[in-house]
Amino acid sequence: MANSRLLSITLIILMSITLIVVVSFILWQTYKKPESAMQIQQVEAKVSAEEFEKATLETEEIRTNLLTGDLILAKFAIQAQNEKTKHELELRKPQVIHIILKTLSSMKPEEIQGPAGMKKVEEAIKKELNQLLEEGKVVNVITTHRIVDV
């Protein structure tokens, strides 16, 4: 009887500790993400116009078909973390264009409509470019020109 009571208490304590750890982890993950997004926005906001120009690569007009065969013409400004990262992007310009073409050609016109659609395209391109870079990172991708011919 004493053993079963001791076993029950031990199990309750272990389950309580496990529950506390799981809840703490979930809360940590939930509140960690907005902070890092806010930090990135603060970094972007503090960049002067000259620094922005020095760290930004502009693409020429890119023309490709979307997944449905509709035509899109787009132009992007890719803001790198610093001038060194911009230089790497310039050296990798064919790969940058390939990533943009691949991203656009995998989407449907309705996926890229409106501000939310543009944000989706920009984030997808940014993610792919960051995987490409050896040093530094892409801070922001800005759509500077876009025409979809449906």
Domain range annotation of the chain? 1-46, 50-149
b/e 17-41 (16+ beta carbons within 10 angstroms → b): eeeeeeeeeeeeeeeeeeeeeeeee
Tell me the CATH number for domain 50-149: 3.30.479.30
Backbone angles phi, psi at 106, to 5 degrees: -95, 5
**The model's pTM:** 0.68
- Cβ(61)–Cβ(74) below 8 Å: yes
Q: What integer pLDDT is reported at residue 5 of this predicted model?
A: 86
In tens, the pLDDT along 47-98 reads 788 999 999 999 999 999 999 999 999 999 999 999 999 999 999 999 999 9
Q: What integer pLDDT is reported at residue 26 of this predicted model?
A: 86
Confidence category of residue 144, pLDDT binned at 50, 70, 90: very high
Query: How far is 100 from 121, CA to CA, in rounded Å?
Result: 9
In tens, the pLDDT along 84-129 reads 999 999 999 999 999 999 999 999 999 998 899 999 999 999 999 9
Q: Above 70 in pLDDT, residue 37?
A: no
SS3 18: helix
